[in-house]
Amino acid sequence: VGLKVCTDALAMGCSCVKSTAVEDATLQPPRGSGWASGSKKGLPPPSGVIAKKVTQAASTRVLALRECGLKQLPVGATGAELANLRTADLSANTLKELPEACSVWSGLQTLLCSQNALTELPSSIGQLASLQKLALSENQLRTLPVELSQLGKLKTLQLDSNCLGKGSLPPDVFGGTLSRALEELDLSANGLEELPSSIAGLVVLQRLVLSRNRLLQLPAGLGELVELQYLDASDNLLSTLPDGFLVKLKSLSELWLKGNPMDRMKLQEAPGFNAFLERRKQRLDAKIDANVVGRVDLTVCGLE
């Protein structure tokens, strides 16, 4: 089943197919072992190999089903014997849904479901109380269940390259116990014209990516994210920042605004901008001193 691409994907920044998200390579079959070494490139493994992977997961606590040509989860994948699963990699298949029975993965810490055909998530995902990373890049999601707000240990949520701008997001989707746990959120390339109000309550958020959407303005409430260090709002329709935005964000040291109809000179005159530049300089100096920096973009927040 091929992936359905949003009809106005390019116009709205909604991408259901391509993304730059990189998932953990450690779960891919090693060269020279298993089905990968004896199969033609691109072909899924035989059903017997998939069944073996499910059986092994009970002892390894890793369900490695990346690139297996799956249209649905195999038999046994949500059995009680996998309740202690730690990692599930379901990336690069053609899954249209996750079953409600995935709630059995009560000990799951990492769930990788990027590059599938998901249009929605089961409400039972809120029962994955141990989940720390949820990767859903490059799907066809149009909405999110409010039960996501129950994930009180989730630190990283990747939702880039979906179609969330085509549907509607519950106002409280980023509320609940999630609001006190989430540190990284990627909503880029979704065609979003507005953000859920609960995003302003993510009190420990450090990294927020909103690029390639259709945002006319950023919510003033984002100024309350006092732990925010990185904000990418490039390639939107922003002409200004909320009043006092840079004054409130005292941890912000990296801000990207390229591709917006924003006046660079007015940005430089905004209250708090000089303090932001000093934090930016300190961050770059630290990278240079540690010899870990590559090419440095010296433009003002990416604006010419």
User: Would you state the pLDDT for residue 10?
Assistant: 41
Sequence-ordered list of residues with C-beta below 8 angstroms from that of 205, at least 6 positions apart, any chain = 182, 183, 184, 185, 225, 227, 228
CA distance 302 to 304: 7
Contact of 103 with 73, CB cutoff 8 Å: no
pTM recorded for the entire structure: 0.85
pLDDT band at 222 (very low <50, low <70, confident <90, very high): very high
pLDDT band for 287, please (50, 70, 90 cuts): confident
pLDDT band for position 295 (cuts 50, 70, 90): low
Least confident piece of the model among 33-42, 72-81, 202-211, 294-303: 33-42
CA distance 111 to 88: 5
Q: Is 212 left (phi over 0), alpha (psi -120 to 50) or beta?
A: left
> Lowest-pLDDT range, 54-63, 249-258, 294-303?
294-303
Phi/psi region, residue 191 (left: phi>0; alpha: psi -120 to 50; beta: rest), is: left
